[in-house]
Structure 1
């Protein structure tokens, strides 16, 4: 880690991380989608529109996994 960063107060370091994350999120919106990715997205959307299965929420799936451990 950059020693200068360690000298900053915790709240300021947290703010820097949040700002950095926000800037990454903004850049991600501009990433191009490849033809293969677009085809896969279209395939998944078509499958959803045919069966209407919305899947299950993450909490339910995680609980089931934990019960099996």
Structure 2
């Protein structure tokens, strides 16, 4: 609890990112999840301007 909120979020992200690096099978996607990714990718390819950069999303989240 000594860390700031943004530092705790970063720590959680770092831990989450380390899981597939250590054990790739621990983070497998279901067929439904894969289909959702394909759908979103198709939508993005049809209209790339609708995307929001991760830096913008993250910045907005940290401002709250």
| TM-score between the two structures when normalised by the length of structure 1 | 0.43
Higher Rg of the two aligned structures: 1
User: Quick check: which one's helix share is greater?
Assistant: 2
Query: Which structure would you say has the larger RCO, counting Cα contacts within 8 Å and 6 or more residues apart?
Result: 2
| TM-score between the two structures when normalised by the length of structure 2 | 0.45
